[in-house]
Amino acid sequence: MKLGLLTSCLPEWSLEEIAGWAGEHGFEALELAAWPSLGDRPFTASHVAADRFDGAEAERVRAALDSNGLELSALAYYDNNLASDPTEREAYHSHLRACIDTAAELGGVPVGTFIGRDPGRTVAENLREAERVMPPLVDYAGERGVALMIENCVMEGWHPDGAPGNLAYSPELWEWMFGLGFYLNFDPSHLLWLGIDPVEALRPYVDRVIHAHAKDAEVFPAERNRYGFFGRLGTREQHPWDMGWWRYRLPGSGEVDFRRYVDTLYEGGFEGVLSVEHEDPIWGGTTEKVLRGLEIGQRNLAPLVVG
Cα distances from 231 to residues 28, 159, 193, 194, 228, in angstroms, run 37, 13, 11, 12, 6
Tens digits of residue pLDDT in 169-205: 999 999 999 999 999 999 999 999 999 999 999 999 9
Please report, for the chain, the start and end positions of each structural domain, with discontinuous segments joined by +.
2-215+255-304
CA max distance for the chain: 55
Q: Cβ distance 82 to 116 under 8 Å?
A: yes
- Give the residues across from 209 on adjacent strands: 184
The b-or-e profile of 195-221 (16+ CB within 10 A means b, else e) is ebebbebbeebbebbbbbbbbbbbeee
Q: Cβ distance 215 to 277 under 8 Å?
A: yes
- Sign, CA torsion 293/296/301/302: positive
CA neighbor of 202 nearest in space, from 215, 216, 217, 212: 212
pLDDT at 149: 98
pLDDT at 306: 82
Range in 231-240, 258-267, 283-292 the model is least confident about = 231-240
Q: What is the DSSP string of 50-107?
A: GGG--HHHHHHHHHHHHTTT-EEEEEE----TT-SSHHHHHHHHHHHHHHHHHHHHTT
CA neighbor of 126 nearest in space, from 176, 201, 52: 176
Tens digits of residue pLDDT in 4-38: 999 999 999 999 999 999 999 999 999 999 999 76
> Which residue type, as a one-letter code, is found at position 88?
E
Q: Cβ distance 166 to 115 under 8 Å?
A: yes
The b-or-e profile of 143-163 (16+ CB within 10 A means b, else e) is eeebbbbbbbbbbbbbbeebe
pLDDT at 37: 74
Class of domain 2-215+255-304: alpha beta
- Give the residues across from 67 on adjacent strands: none
Tens digits of residue pLDDT in 120-176: 999 999 999 999 999 999 999 999 999 999 999 999 999 988 899 999 999 999 999
pLDDT at 238: 86
Q: Cβ distance 165 to 155 under 8 Å?
A: yes
CA neighbor of 206 nearest in space, from 188, 192, 180: 188
Count the neighbouring beta carbons within 10 Å of the beta carbon of residue 46. 20
Tens digits of residue pLDDT in 38-84: 656 667 889 999 999 999 999 999 999 999 999 999 999 999 999 99
The predicted model scores a pTM of 0.96
pLDDT at 200: 98
Mean pLDDT of all residues belonging to the chain: 96
Q: Cβ distance 171 to 205 under 8 Å?
A: yes
